[in-house]
Amino acid sequence: LVSRRHKSEDTIIRIKHTEFGGTSHVMIAGPCSIESRDQLLTVAAALKNAGVTVLRGGAFKPRTSPYDFQGLGVEGLKIMKEVADEVGMVTISEIMSPSQIDTAARYVDIFQIGARNMQNFDLLKAVGQTGQPVLLKRGLSATLEEFILAAEYILYNGNDRVMLIERGIRTFEKWTRNTLDISAVPLLKQETHLPVLVDVSHATGRKDILLSCAKAALAAGADGVMVEVHPNPQASRSDANQQINIDEFNTFWKGLRDSGFF
């Protein structure tokens, strides 16, 4: 069902005035985790002002260690809805289990399925039974075939509003958190009709090469880019090393606009 052989034309997902997979690129930005209303509103207002339409932020966080910040949960989703309604943005937040779907559906526009849950088949089936858009992340060590088949679960269960996002894979390289697999972009575009995006923050885990990686992704045919932005990254409760501040975002954004990608 995800294959170009099944459907040749690009799938376009429209949410409010934003189109994923259409003729223009989409920027998804926001903090790794929602930490407070003040934190999210500060970022959202700055992003909206810059012309960004999609706000990200985690409320249910899949942390490697149980001792790390686990996210604000439903409280975080409520903050997200309040802030997004105030500034007028489309929202995206991760869900980790089928039991979170009904609640999350009340507060966010797009469900994110994280890398660690790419093959959580019960979750894939459950979001497939909703009509809500899903952003599916590539698993930490997933092949493109496994990635595409995970998306297939969602369409097979009835939901065709699915977007794929490359977020780097595990290799032996240590200078980046993950290895950005640029070849995934043209291959996923060739094999599937779904929108394809690239998360440059999790792919690299660093701030200094985000612009080059985003340009590479868009030049390779990606429909959009995701980047983590926090008002004060050093003080953030997750992914402190890779999040950029608002000034850094504005420089990154200008670089992409100057190159004609937005």
Catalog residues that contact Mn ion under the rule CB under 5 A: 32, 239
Is 32 a binding residue for ligand PEP by CB under 6 A? The answer is yes
Contact in structure between 15 and 161 (CB atoms under 8 Å):
no
Output the six-digit token pair for 1: 């069902």
Nearer to Mn ion, 68 or 85 (CB): 68
Task: Decide if residue 71 touches ligand PEP (CB under 6 A).
Answer: no
Site for ligand PEP in 182-201 (CB under 6 A): 199
First-to-final CA distance of the chain? 30
Which residue, 15 or 34, is less far from Mn ion as judged by CB?
A: 34
Report residue 118: phi and psi, to 5°.
-55, -30
Q: Least distance to ligand PEP from the beta carbon of 58, Å?
A: 5
* Shortest distance in whole angstroms from residue 8 CB to ligand PEP: 29
Query: 221: part of which helix (H) or strand (E)?
Result: none
161 is a contact residue toward ligand PEP (CB under 6 A): no
- Which part of the chain contacts ligand PEP (CB under 6 A), choosing from 103-111, 113-121, 144-152, 251-259? 113-121
Q: How far apart are alpha carbons 122 and 96 in whole angstroms? A: 10
CB of 201 to ligand PEP, least distance (A): 8
Does residue 58 bind ligand PEP (CB under 6 A)? yes
Give the H or E element holding residue 26: strand 26-30
Told to check if 31 binds ligand PEP by CB under 6 A, we report: no
Structure tokens at 173: 């390289």
Minimum distance of Mn ion from residue 109's CB (angstroms): 19
d(CA 15, CA 139): 25
Q: Are 190 and 2 in contact (CB under 8 A)?
A: no
Q: Should residue 167 be labelled a site residue for ligand PEP when binding is judged by CB under 6 A?
A: yes
Q: Shortest approach of ligand PEP to residue 63 CB, angstroms?
A: 9
- Which C-beta is closer to ligand PEP: that of 1 or that of 149? 149
Report whether 192 contacts 164 (CB < 8 A).
Answer: yes
Structure-block tokens of residue 249? 């975002």
Q: How far is CA 103 from the centre of its chain?
A: 20
Instruction: Give the binding site for ligand PEP (CB under 6 A).
Output: 32, 58, 62, 94, 114-116, 137, 167, 199, 202
